[in-house]
Structure 1
Amino acid sequence: MTVVLATAAALGFRRLPAHWRRVLQATFYLPVVVPGIVTGIALVFWFKRVGIPLGYPSILIAHVVHAFPYALAVILSSFASLDPRLEEVSQDLGATPWRTFWRVTFQLVRPGLLGGALLAFTLSFDKFVLTFFVAGGGVITLPLEIHSLVRFLISPVVNAIAADLHPEVPRTRAAWRRS
């Protein structure tokens, strides 16, 4: 969802004058400088005011708000290297704007979209504090589960997860025997 919104914003930025583009980019980059705890508390108040229940919808919105500026930066850099003449040529040859987007623009910015998606996923996965505030009762995500396992009891599951993520730990039986 973050990549779709960031792509739409990047497409809109291309049509704006340079002054308005800088003003809107500065506005969109605000969540980067605000700490996660402040964002989490502010979003909880906003969810209560608007009437959005705490749970999976609030987690999704919070993570989109947090990851959007990072994905937007990557996707905008991908659009900056795009030559607008290629789109003009496509439309001059009879392609509709929609077909031009899918056959030309999308194909050229696809690496930036993938990079933005991977960055958004990584940042979202790491935001424990934000998830902690907006999750509500009864909703368990992997970072919340790991935190509860570490906090309340030392479980071998946490060690297994940490060992699986550590690059120097051998992962196969043959590698275990050699070490």
Structure 2
Amino acid sequence: MAVELTHLDESGRPRMVDVSEKPDTDRRAVAETTLRMRPETLEAILSGGGPKGAVLETAQVAGVMAAKRTWELIPMCHPIPITGVSLSFLPEPPDRLVIRADVRTTGKTGVEMEALTAVSVAALTVYDMVKAIDRGMEIGPTRLLQKSGGKSGDFRREDLEGSGADGARSPDRRPGS
């Protein structure tokens, strides 16, 4: 069975898919990425002792901004009226920080790219904020956990270990909590 690439026209040239005839539906996507670092780096992040200030708070704002501007970064993405973006920071001591984004809209196309962009930019912001103390941090894997809405239906990763219905593995750690 051949896979049809919707972002290519009949001649194989890139195109933005026409979604004008699609109905508006409620859509949601959840994505996550993981940062691996030295234990003392994670401690500094969680204690608010990063060299550039409030690491998680800054990363949260960066992730929301990135979700809203995904269409400017990814060439074939549509500008989407996002109705909600939330980011969670889940420490996994001694040396990991999981960043999760939950993005919602009511529209003609999904928000998977917005959720993936949100966690990616949030992770890059964490890296930037603490690179002075740990340039060896690693980002990834970055992955879509679930999506709902639209013609293609729902998707949920099969390989989520011990996850609840929302993809959570442990309680949320949000800035200020």
| Class of the TM-score when normalised by the shorter of the 2 chains | under 0.3
TM (norm. structure 2) is 0.27
More strand by share: 2
TM (norm. structure 1) is 0.27
More helix by share: 1
- Which has the larger Rg? 1
